A and B are shown apart, each in its own frame.
Chain A
Amino acid sequence: MRSLLLLWLLVLLVVPLTAHAQPSADDEAAIELLEALDVDSFPAKGEAIDAIVASDDERARGWLQALLDGRLQRADDGRFVIVLDNSGRDWPVEDALSGEDLGEMSRRDLDRIGINNALRNQLRSVIAVVDLYSPNVDQRRTSAERLLGEVDEDLAGPIEALIEEEEDARVRQRLTLALAIHRLEQGDIQAVEHLDGSLHSSARIALNRATSSDDEALAQAATAALANIEQNLRLNRAAETLYFGLSMGSVLVLAAIGLAITFGVMGVINMAHGELIMLGAYTTWMMQQLLPGQPGLALILAIPAGFMVAALAGIAIERSVIQFLKGRPLETLLATFGVSLILQQLVRTGISPLNRTVVTPEWMSGSVAINDALSLTLNRMYVLGFALVVFAALMLVMRRTRLGLEVRAVTQNRAMARSMGIRATRVDILTFGLGSGVAGLAGVALSQLTNVGPNLGQNYIIDSFMVVVFGGVGNLWGTLVAGLSLGVINQVLEPWAGAVLAKIIVLVFIILFIQKRPRGLFPQKGRAAEG
C-alpha cells in the first residue's frame, strides 16, 4: 500500500517534468510561427502575423499583444521570451511558449523583434479579432464589445464571416451592431434599420454623425432612428429611476417597519430606534471581523445575530425605561432620545467615532445588465428583496400567529385582554423585541448600502417616523406603500431639484399632507382608531 503511494507520487512528479523537457508537436509548430516573425522584411512579418492568427494557438493573443508593445523578444540562447515589465534595468521575463517564469534578464541579452507603423495597425485590428475566434464565450463577448465603432474596411470581411458562425446570441448581436455602424459610416442607408432601436452609445454617436450627412435620405433616416432611440432611452431612464426609487424606498420600509410595530401597534415612541438599526449594522461589521475572509457567510450569520442583538437591546430599553412611562408618550419620547444619545456615544467611545467598512460579498456586488442603457446593481436588488421578505414575515407573525393575535388584543383593549388570560407584560416585551429586532435586520441590510458609523441611526430616525405617520399609524401595509412611494418620489425629484432640495420637498410635502390627513394614507378605522 505504502509503496503504491510512493509510486503514484513519483509518477505525479515525473509526468510534468517530462512533459516540460521534450517540446511537444504543438510547441514545435509554435516555434516555427515565431521564427517566421524574426526576419528583416516587414511584409514577411505581416504574413507571419496572419499565419499566427490562423494557427488557432491559444497563446497567439499574448504573442501578438507583446509584439505590438515591443515586449516579444529573443534571448541570446534563441528562446522567445515575453518581457513582463520593461521599466527597470533588468527585466522580468517569461518563456513565450511555456509561460514559465525565467527570472530577470539584462536588456543586453535580449533582442527585440521590431515592427513598423503598418504592422502596428495590422496588429491592432488583428488583436481585436483574434479573441473572436477564442473558444471562451466571455472573451468573445468582451472582444466584440471592443469592436463597436472600431470596425474598418479590413475587418468588415472577417466579421461578416464570423457572424454566420457565431453561436452566442450576444456576441452575434454585438458584431452585427459593429458592422452596421461601419456600414453607416460608409453611407449605407440599410444600416440605419439595424441601428434603430439599439441603446448602445456608439450606435447613437454614429447616427448622430449620420444626421449631418450630405445624403439627405440617409440624414433623415438617421434623425428618425435617433428620435426613436431617444424615446426608448427615456423609458429606460424612467425604469432606472423607478428602480432606484424602489431601492431607496425599500431601505425606508426596512428602517420604518420595526417602528410601525413599536410606535404604530404598541404606541410607544422609541427615538432610539435609529440606534437599534445602527446596532444591527455594527453586528454585521463585528461578524465580518470574527470571520475574516468570509464576508458572505458573515453577512448571512449577521441576519439572525443582528436581529438578536437589536431585540435584546430593545427589550433592555423597554424593561429599564419605557415600562415606567406607560401612557406618557411625550416623556417616553424624551427618555428614549436620551437612550439613543447614550448608545451613540457608547459606540463612539467603545469602537470608534470613524466609519467602519463592511465588505460586500462577491455574490452581491456587480450588476445585472437588462440592456445597453439599463443595468441594475445587485446589492440594491438584494436589499429590495430582503425588505419584502421581512415585510411578508412580519405580516405573517402579526396575522397568523398566536403572538400577533395577543398583540392586537392587548393594544385594542388591554384590560379586556388581560382578563381573558393574556399576559400583557410578556406581550409587551415580545412585541417590543420583535420591532427592535426588525430594526437590527434593517441595520444588516443598510450596512451593504451606506457607511456604518455612530450617526447611521440618527440619519434614519426622522425619515422612519415620517414613513410611519405618512402611511397611517398601526397599519403595516401603509408603511410599505408609504416607504416605497416616498423613495420613488424622492428619486423622481432628484434630477431637477438636487438631492438635498428633493429631501426638503418631500419633508414639506409630508408635513402638509399630515395637516390634510392627520391619520395618514390608510387611517385605522373602527375600534382600533380610538385612543
Chain B
Amino acid sequence: MWLTQPFNERSTQLFIGVLLAAMTLVTLLHVVVPAGHPLHVNAYTVNLFGKYLSYALLAVAVDLVWGYLGILSLGHGAFFAIGGYAMGMYLMRQIGDRGTYGDPVLPDFMVFLSWESLPWYWLGFDMAWFGFLMVLLAPGALALVFGFLAFRSRVTGVYLSIITQALTFALMLAFYRNEMGFGGSDGLTDFRDILGFNLRSNETRLGLFLASGVALGASYLLCRAIVGSKLGRVCVATRDAEARTRFLGYRVERFQLFVFVVSAMLAGLAGALYVPQVGIINPSEFSPLFSIEIVLWVALGGRATLYGAVIGAILVNYAKTVFTGVMPDAWLFALGGMFVLVTVFLPKGVAGLLAYRFKRRRDESDAAPGQEVTP
C-alpha cells in the first residue's frame, strides 16, 4: 500500500515519532501536572502550539509545490484563508440565535447590513459535514480552475509567482467588501462552539491542538507518499527540467495540477484548524505579505524536505511571538533580515544545515585520521 510506504524512511519515522512525543508531552503537562507547577502548560500555550501546528501544516502544503514542483506560490495564503472562511461560516451558523441581534438564521453582520435572507453560498453551512467538506473543496476548486488555466498555458517560474500574488491580492480586496457577504473588514468572529463543544473551554482547545497535530501527521504522510511515488518522481523531474520531462512524453500540466490542488486543499485544512483556535478570520489572511511569509518559513526550514517546512514554520512563528511581545518594532527588521540571510547564506535552510552536520560527523568517523574532509 503506497500510503504506508513512507514509514520505511528514517526521516518519516523520526518526524512522526517526534510529533507524537510532543503531542503526548504537551497533553500530559497540561492535564496531569497541576496548575501553578513550573512544568504546567496552560491553556493559552496549548492554544499557541495548536496555532503553530496549523501553520506547520500550511508550510508543508507550500513545500509540496515549491520544493517538489518548483512552483513558488505567493498565493497560498488565499487557500488557507478560504479554508478558514469555510470553517468560519460553519462556526457562524452554529452561533444561531445567541448573536447580539438574536436572529436565528442570519449572522450578526448580515442583520447589521439589513440583509433579508442568507446568500445562496451560505446555505448548507449549518451542517458540520458540509462545512468540513467545503474546507477542502472550496480551496481545491479555486486551485483547480486557476491551476488548469495557468499550467495549460505553461505559465511558470516568476510569472506564476506574480500572478498567484495578484490572485490573493484581488481576493483580499474582494473580501474587504461588505457586499461580498463575508463580514467585510471585520471578517467572521464571536464563534461559540464547534460540533457542540464550547470553543472557550480548555478541553476543546486541547482537542483542537491534538486535531491539528493529527492533521499535520496525516498530511505529512500523504505528502511523503506522493513525493515517494512515481508521480513524485515526475514532479521532481518537472521541477528540474520541465521541457525535458514534457519531451519524454509526460503531460506535465496534469501532474502540476494534481499536486497543486492537493496542496491547496491541505492549505485549506490548515486554515480550518487555525480559525477555531484564534477565534477570528478576516481578509488580512489574504494579504500578499502573509503568503510570502509562508514561503520564508519553508525557505528557512529547508526546501524540499517537508520536515524542514515544519521546523521553519515553528521557528519563525515562535520568533514572531517573542519579538512582537518584546520589541514589536523590531519584528519587521528581523523578518526582513531572515529573508535576506536565509536566501543568501542558507539556501538549503535549517534542514540542510542539520543534514550537513550529520553527514560530516559520519564522514569524520569514517575518514582515516589526518585525512582532509571536503564538505
What distance in Å separates the Cβ of B257 from its nearest Cβ neighbour in chain A?
13
| B343–A325 CB distance below 8 A | yes
A330-B157, A334-B299, A515-B155 given; A340·B336 CB < 8 A: yes
Spot the interface stretch: B32-40, B97-105, B166-174, B220-228: B166-174
A73 contacts the other chain (Cβ, under 8 Å)? no
Residue in B150, B161, B340 whose beta carbon sits within 8 Å of that of A335 in the complex: B340
Q: Which residues on the A side are within 8 Å of B342 (C-beta)?
A: 334
A503 contacts the other chain (Cβ, under 8 Å)? yes
Residue in A321, A338, A518 whose beta carbon sits within 8 Å of that of B153 in the complex: A518
A507-B166, A511-B166, A515-B152 given; A500·B177 CB < 8 A: yes
- Report how far A503 CA is from B173 CA in the complex, Å: 8
Q: Interface code A493-516, partner B: CB below 8 Å = 1, 0 otherwise?
A: 000000011011001101110111
A469 contacts the other chain (Cβ, under 8 Å)? yes
B333 contacts the other chain (Cβ, under 8 Å)? yes
- Report how far A501 CA is from B178 CA in the complex, Å: 12
- Report how far A510 CA is from B338 CA in the complex, Å: 32
| B335–A341 CB distance below 8 A | yes
| A504–B170 CB distance below 8 A | yes
Spot the interface stretch: B2-10, B84-92, B288-296: B288-296
- Report how far A98 CA is from B91 CA in the complex, Å: 79
| B295–A334 CB distance below 8 A | yes
Q: Which residues on the A side are within 8 Å of B340 (C-beta)?
A: 321, 335, 338-339, 342
| A344–B163 CB distance below 8 A | no
Q: Which residues on the A side are within 8 Å of B150 (C-beta)?
A: 515
Q: Which residues on the A side are within 8 Å of B296 (C-beta)?
A: 334, 338
| B337–A504 CB distance below 8 A | no
| A330–B161 CB distance below 8 A | yes
Q: Which of B150-189 contact A (CB under 8 A)?
A: 150, 152-155, 157-159, 161-163, 165-167, 169-170, 173-174, 176-177
| B173–A337 CB distance below 8 A | no
Q: Which residues on the B side are within 8 Å of A349 (C-beta)?
A: 329
Q: Which residues on the A side are within 8 Å of B332 (C-beta)?
A: 341-342, 344-345, 348
Nearest A-chain residue to B71, judged by Cβ: A330
Q: Which residues on the B side are within 8 Å of A512 (C-beta)?
A: 149
Q: Which residues on the B side are within 8 Å of A330 (C-beta)?
A: 72, 157-158, 161
| A331–B166 CB distance below 8 A | no
A254 contacts the other chain (Cβ, under 8 Å)? no
Nearest A-chain residue to B338, judged by Cβ: A338
B347 contacts the other chain (Cβ, under 8 Å)? yes
B339 contacts the other chain (Cβ, under 8 Å)? yes
What distance in Å separates the Cβ of B291 from its nearest Cβ neighbour in chain A?
11
Q: Which residues on the B side are within 8 Å of A342 (C-beta)?
A: 332-333, 336-337, 340
B344 contacts the other chain (Cβ, under 8 Å)? yes
Q: Which residues on the B side are within 8 Å of A325 (C-beta)?
A: 343-344
What distance in Å separates the Cβ of B289 from its nearest Cβ neighbour in chain A?
8
Residue in A333, A338, A341, A511 whose beta carbon sits within 8 Å of that of B161 in the complex: A333
A342-B332, A518-B153 given; A510·B166 CB < 8 A: yes
Q: Which residues on the A side are within 8 Å of B343 (C-beta)?
A: 321, 325, 331-332, 334-335, 338
The B contact surface, by secondary structure, is helix
What distance in Å separates the Cβ of B140 from its nearest Cβ neighbour in chain A?
18
What distance in Å separates the Cβ of A411 from its nearest Cβ neighbour in chain B?
15
- Report how far A260 CA is from B335 CA in the complex, Å: 27
Q: Which of B126-161 contact A (CB under 8 A)?
A: 146, 149-150, 152-155, 157-159, 161
- Report how far A510 CA is from B163 CA in the complex, Å: 8
A465 contacts the other chain (Cβ, under 8 Å)? yes
| A514–B163 CB distance below 8 A | yes
Nearest B-chain residue to A323, judged by Cβ: B344
Nearest B-chain residue to A267, judged by Cβ: B158
A222 contacts the other chain (Cβ, under 8 Å)? no
Q: Which residues on the B side are within 8 Å of A252 (C-beta)?
A: none
A269 contacts the other chain (Cβ, under 8 Å)? yes
A68 contacts the other chain (Cβ, under 8 Å)? no
Q: Interface code B325-354, partner A: CB below 8 Å = 1, 0 otherwise?
A: 000010011011111101110010000000
A324 contacts the other chain (Cβ, under 8 Å)? yes
- Report how far A510 CA is from B170 CA in the complex, Å: 11
| A337–B292 CB distance below 8 A | yes
Nearest B-chain residue to A321, judged by Cβ: B340
- Report how far A341 CA is from B149 CA in the complex, Å: 32
A329 contacts the other chain (Cβ, under 8 Å)? yes
What distance in Å separates the Cβ of A59 from its nearest Cβ neighbour in chain B?
58
Q: Which residues on the A side are within 8 Å of B153 (C-beta)?
A: 514-516, 518
A482 contacts the other chain (Cβ, under 8 Å)? no
What distance in Å separates the Cβ of A471 from its nearest Cβ neighbour in chain B?
13
- Report how far A331 CA is from B337 CA in the complex, Å: 14
| A337–B174 CB distance below 8 A | no
- Report how far A289 CA is from B368 CA in the complex, Å: 69
Q: Interface code A238-254, partner B: CB below 8 Å = 1, 0 otherwise?
A: 00000000000000000
- Report how far A199 CA is from B158 CA in the complex, Å: 51
| B155–A518 CB distance below 8 A | yes
Nearest B-chain residue to A465, judged by Cβ: B162
Q: Interface code B8-32, partner A: CB below 8 Å = 1, 0 otherwise?
A: 0000000000000000000000000
Can you list 9 A-B pairs with a CB-CB distance of less than 8 A? Answer: A330-B158, A334-B292, A338-B340, A341-B332, A342-B336, A345-B336, A348-B332, A500-B173, A514-B153
- Residues on A lying within 8 angstroms of B by beta carbon are 269, 321, 324-325, 329-335, 337-342, 344-346, 348-349, 462, 465-466, 469, 500-501, 503-504, 507-508, 510-512, 514-516, 518
- Residues on B lying within 8 angstroms of A by beta carbon are 72, 146, 149-150, 152-155, 157-159, 161-163, 165-167, 169-170, 173-174, 176-177, 288, 292, 295-296, 299, 329, 332-333, 335-340, 342-344, 347
Extra contacts, 20 of them, besides A324-B344, A518-B159 (Cβ < 8 A), are A321-B340, A334-B295, A334-B342, A335-B340, A337-B339, A339-B340, A341-B339, A342-B332, A342-B333, A342-B337, A345-B332, A348-B329, A462-B166, A500-B176, A501-B174, A501-B177, A507-B166, A507-B170, A510-B166, A514-B163
